[in-house]
A and B are shown apart, each in its own frame.
Chain A
Amino acid sequence: MDQDQNNRSAETARPSRKGRRLGPSALFFLVLAAVTALAWCLPLRPTVSVKEKRELEKLPDFSLSSLADGSCFQQIGLWFSDTFPGRDLWIRVDQSIKRLHGSDDVVIYGRVEAGDEIPPTVPSPGTQTVSATPEPTPVQPETTPEQTEAQEDPEPVWGGKILEDEDLVSAGTVIQIGDSAFDYTGFSRYYCDSYAANINRAAALLQGKCRVSSVFVLHAATLLLPREFREEMGCSPEEDVLNYVNQQLEDAVIGVDTYTPLLEHNGEYIYFRTDHHWTALGAWYAYADWAEKAGLEPVGLEEYREVVLEPFLGSLYYKANQSDRLRADSVHAFVPPGDVHLYINDNPGDTPGRPGTEYELITDVKGTDKYITFLLGDHAMCTLVNNDITDGSACVIVKNSNGNPFCYYFTQHYQYVYVLDYRKYFSRSLTDFVDCYDVDDVIFCLSAGQAQSRGGSELLTHIIR
């Protein structure tokens, strides 16, 4: 009998019944089978993540080379994980697990790096050039391949180069404190010098034609967190950065104070909890400071019609790994009084007088990305026309997305408010635009993060000519 069993075992290997029995492990295989079936329900696989604002990985195109080097297999693996059915639910479960790791009252997302030291003294306006600092400090994120190309190419071709806000707005590190998230703030002396030099160059180029203003938009942390705490965190004090920049501006340039007026109202809803932008209210305080310095009477918000849109989950929510500690925002938009119209033109071309397609001033968009209610997001050129003003007055706002809620307030002073997203508008140079559209005021409205980025600096240099 034993001999017989041994002979048979050599070929058929019959393990003991006890070992072969699944027993309670059947539950494991049941779960494995169920999730496997779920994973292979291809129609259940998402293709887009609304929350993360991105297209999910796709199955690769097969080629002999991708098969040989294994890249197509890696891509299949990425696709399989990235488009896993029910990914949002799995991510929530994962977050719940992570909450057990320790206290999540304050969480840092990303790497903290020190910025440059902010110089206590400033060269007198008119004499300074871009800092001789040969290399920018590493406080900004990596440049995109497009930017690298642009840097390497002595004659860069600018058309179609688009920089996303989220890529450049800050050093990329985020701190979540309670229900709010904040960008870390850094300081790059090289790019601050470069920014100030660019604005001064614009003023020189446009001298006698129009005024130039600079709105250097600070991060929420600067306005909402105590300085000592920010310094302990490793942030550069941005109020000093603003001073450093504004003190370098020529006298002819209006340097808007984006710190003091907002600080006086930092108990109000001037910055979003989950997004890197200021709110329309925060933008209004900066506008009021500009208006005063420009010799105009700011139009109070009570004149506007307030529209509240919610819920809004902004970029910091995603940088903070969609932490459920963060409280969703609401977007308060202020519809300007009067016969005001919004035109959007993504391909403005060279021909003036074609403002583009008309849209609602404030649009309630689906989903949680409510910030694009302002100007429907970032476009090459938007035109706000106030038909109640007929004097042909015009201003141009050269901006990144912080300019979107900001530009509406200018409709009360100008018949035409041209809004150029300097990351997307490549049709004309600024001087050409001013001449062509008979502009009275040029206002630069850039976030401190983007103003201090290599891509932002290069694009600004490009448009100011």
Chain B
Amino acid sequence: MIGKDLIKGMIRPIVLHLLLRKEKMYGYEITQLVREETGGKINLSLGALYPVLHKLEAEDILETSTEAVDNRLRKYYMLSKKGRKTALSKTEEMYEFLDALQGFCRPSTTRNP
């Protein structure tokens, strides 16, 4: 499993990336999808995910709607108009970062023994 310190800076682009793929999601759904798609390597805790969601909401990047589901209220998050642009650029930035990181970590064929 990947450590919290490494995941921390990636939560924002991960959330935005997921919301680009799926129109609206709730907190627990995000944690489950991230866990499934990373084969359990990235495990978003409640304390890591929600502050990011709330901050994105406060910055008007995310919009929310509340629905009554199974005896309780469920808060759904979705991208705002402004958020869609931000999500696209952040996802692009994430790909670049991952490429750069991969290039940095891959054993170079040109490197001297």
Q: Judge: A and B partners, yes or no.
A: no
Residues of chain B touching chain A, judged by Cβ–Cβ distance below 8 Å, are: none
